[in-house]
Amino acid sequence: MTATTRPAPSACPACSAAPAAEALAARDLPGAQIALSLPTIHCAACISKIESALDAHPRVRSARVNLTLKRASIDAAPDVTAEDMRSLVAGLGYEAHELDAGTLSATATDKAGRELLMRLAVAGFAAMNVMLLSVSVWSGAEAATRDLFHWISAAIALPAIAFSGVPFFRNAWAALRQGRLNMDVPITLAIVLAVVTSLWETALSGEHAYFDAAIALTFFLLAGRYLDHRTRTIARSAAEELTALEVPRATRLRDGAEEVVGVSELAAGDLVLVRPGGRMPVDGEIIGGTSEIDRSLLTGETLPVFAGEGQAVSAGEVNLTGPLTVRATAVGAETSLHRMADLVAIAESGRSRYTSLADRAARLYAPGVHILAGLSFLGWYLYTWDLRTALNIAAAVLIITCPCALGLAVPAVTTAASGRLFRRGMLIKHETALERLAQVDTVVFDKTGTLTAGTPRLDAPEALPREAMAVARALAEASSHPLARAIAEAARAAGVAAAEVTDVTEVPGYGTKGRYEGREVRLGRASWTGAEPRAQTASFLSMGKGLPVAFPFTDALRPGAEEAVQALLADGKRVILMSGDTEPAVAALAERLGIVEWSAEALPADKAARVEALRDEGAHVLMVGDGLNDTAALTAAHVSISPASALDAARVASDIVLLGNDLSPIGAACATARSATRRIRENFRIATVYNLVAVPLAVAGLCSPLIAALAMSASSITVSLNALRLR
């Protein structure tokens, strides 16, 4: 629990202290609320297995698994840590990650969605009842019976519209106050005018009342709004979950004692301890320890860099071997991580020029409707000099042209498409991302961390001498350095047993050493083992005699990378590889994937400039990248995708996030986006056809409430069914 209560200022300290103490005690009672992300659960058995295991834990009060969000929320005693729960679930064979409860609490209850659903339910209830009454009017109720039915309809419809229509009224008012027109202005006008003329007609026991149309309109439009809202909430909560996965903590050294604090509490000048495997929380200077650091997320280089005293480090770099003490020089917004935001802001100015299909339709539509309704009112008034007839016809025109189908046309399709892509592991963050993805003709990939997994793999282990492998395995198993782990794994896979090496010690920043057959053996950096450094990532083993043996590495391909590139090439798209890594590494990968156009050693600004140049040539660029050096390019591109493993900044800059490890959904996503855009256009056409048929009738004064209801329901249902055809 992170909630804090601030006692109110009071005259007597004891008065305020006692309730505060009580509040503290009461707050302790609820215990720890722990949230875990469980990305791999999928069935009823998973739910009951995890829930019963958690419930069996003596300190857990209750646990509930949510399969839709793939999350477990646990209510436990205060001393239970998230790590205990995580390892408990991981022990059952499920992947589990701690979620930052503070970040998640914002999405725990979706108040706005619940409110919309409530309004939708009331509108639906009222629409059904009013429709039933209207059916009897249409089938020939007369005189007093008709008036009675109209009055009952009014009694149901008026409060229902007053309650359910609030979102439209609010939006329309906000737009009008700024002197603009949006979709909600004609909607509000149609609803209000329909209700007013119907009331007037009913009072004069007239024949045509549009209560049913007004409430049905509200219902259909609310359905569209709700779909739209839900799609966005799902995307937002998934994006927030990704952020919550990174619990921002750092170990601060104060007077020689270690304390774990939130990154936001650090100040410049603080001493921060970064353990092997940890990420630098601040920009700073190393004042103690030696190690190697991995800067691939910042620069795209795969080769780890030696780090010793006096060297500057940047936030976001990963410490590999030895613990480092860093004196912070810049924290929070001043770190180089955040300075990159300037580049992003420049790139941003080129973005946001895209107008969504819905906005383009609304821009044509909203003034058109008002002019049409106004003209028919004026025409009929001049023709008959009868205000009642003219107003009736104007209301009929507004109701018939009301954007019921238009309001559903886009949300129905985007809901269907994002749901489909979400199940394939893609999260659509931006509302127009699908439309933009459909236009893509050029795809730019980053290398490190995007096409490659960022974990090294030993190149051709069978070509290495067996004895060297055995010694290397013995030395590598003592280290948690990624290269050492790759050697140990390759040796295990090749069935090479570890040699008898004694006195194995790790020398942070250099490698591991030990004694083998009376000689000192070393596995590590080139300079330390007496070998010639190479351009390719490699470790070296010196056996104490002869030349050191080189262990070259390649970066393992990310699963699905090959399929994704092949699918895009087969689709006739231009594929470009742009990396900050060295030339041989990039060339090798480009050849392996069959990519003809590539460039190496690209600086972040180069990448963004290149993407902008492509854009100026008229290309619609899809950028796929994960690192900080890609952030500007991600923003400059027409549409962008980043994997879930990307830095927070890159994920924020991109429109679509890949939730899994796999890249292969990218090809299919382009196809889905294209068919979704096609469906949206079809839906607009269907809605227009209905209008073309019904509007002349309304303008000619031949429209009855029956025709209005038929046209409205038929077009809305056709549009929704068309959206569901999406494959």
Partner 1 sequence: MNVLAYLIPISLILGGLGLVFFIYTVRSNQYDDPEGDARRILSDDWDDHPKP
| Torsion sign across C-alpha atoms 565, 571, 576, 579 | negative
8 Å CB contact between 95 and 87: no
| SS3 of residue 17 by DSSP | helix
What is the smallest separation between the CB atom of 234 and partner 1, expressed in angstroms? 12
CB nearer to partner 1: pick between 30 and 465: 30
Give the strand order in the sheet containing 442-445.
426-428, 656-658, 639-643, 621-624, 442-445, 574-578, 597-599
**How far is C-alpha 530 from the geometric centre of its chain's CA atoms?**
48
**Contacts with 505 (C-beta within 8 Å, 6 or more apart), sequence order:** 478, 512, 513, 514
CB nearer to partner 1: pick between 73 and 479: 73
Query: Hey, what are 472's tokens?
Result: 């290397």
Q: How far is it, in rounded angstroms, from Cα 303 to Cα 319?
A: 13
8 Å CB contact between 636 and 625: no
Query: Hey, what are 120's tokens?
Result: 């939708």
8 Å CB contact between 499 and 516: yes
What is the smallest separation between the CB atom of 68 and partner 1, expressed in angstroms? 4
Q: How far is it, in rounded angstroms, from Cα 36 to Cα 64?
A: 11
Q: How far is it, in rounded angstroms, from Cα 187 to Cα 221?
A: 9
Interface contacts to partner 1, rule CB under 8 A:
43-45, 47-48, 52, 65-69, 114, 117-118, 121-122, 125, 128-129, 132, 145, 148, 152, 156
CB nearer to partner 1: pick between 18 and 148: 148
**Contacts with 514 (C-beta within 8 Å, 6 or more apart), sequence order:** 474, 475, 478, 501, 502, 503, 504, 505, 520, 521
What is the smallest separation between the CB atom of 199 and partner 1, expressed in angstroms? 20
Q: How far is it, in rounded angstroms, from Cα 435 to Cα 367?
A: 25
CB nearer to partner 1: pick between 123 and 490: 123
CB nearer to partner 1: pick between 116 and 280: 116
**Contacts with 592 (C-beta within 8 Å, 6 or more apart), sequence order:** 557
What is the smallest separation between the CB atom of 724 and partner 1, expressed in angstroms? 18
What is the smallest separation between the CB atom of 99 and partner 1, expressed in angstroms? 16
What is the smallest separation between the CB atom of 93 and partner 1, expressed in angstroms? 18
Residue 368 to residues 167, 398, 696, 716: CA-CA distances in angstroms? 23, 11, 14, 20
- Closest by CA to 151, choosing from 103, 202, 106, is 202
CB nearer to partner 1: pick between 145 and 355: 145
| Amino acid symbol at 203 | A
What is the smallest separation between the CB atom of 67 and partner 1, expressed in angstroms? 3
CB nearer to partner 1: pick between 149 and 377: 149
CB nearer to partner 1: pick between 65 and 282: 65
CB nearer to partner 1: pick between 135 and 714: 135
Give the strand order in the sheet containing 452-458.
452-458, 549-557, 538-542, 519-524, 511-516, 502-507
8 Å CB contact between 147 and 207: no
8 Å CB contact between 295 and 624: no
**How far is C-alpha 525 from the geometric centre of its chain's CA atoms?**
39
What is the smallest separation between the CB atom of 470 and partner 1, expressed in angstroms? 50
Enumerate the β-bridge partners of residue 551: 539
Tell me the catalytic residues. 446
- Closest by CA to 30, choosing from 83, 77, 95, is 77
8 Å CB contact between 394 and 376: yes
CB nearer to partner 1: pick between 230 and 252: 230
What is the smallest separation between the CB atom of 44 and partner 1, expressed in angstroms? 4
CB nearer to partner 1: pick between 26 and 108: 108
Q: What does DSSP say about strands 621-624 and 639-643: parallel, antiparallel, or unpaired?
A: parallel
What is the smallest separation between the CB atom of 106 and partner 1, expressed in angstroms? 15
Query: Hey, what are 197's tokens?
Result: 């003329």
**Contacts with 177 (C-beta within 8 Å, 6 or more apart), sequence order:** none
What is the smallest separation between the CB atom of 300 and partner 1, expressed in angstroms? 39
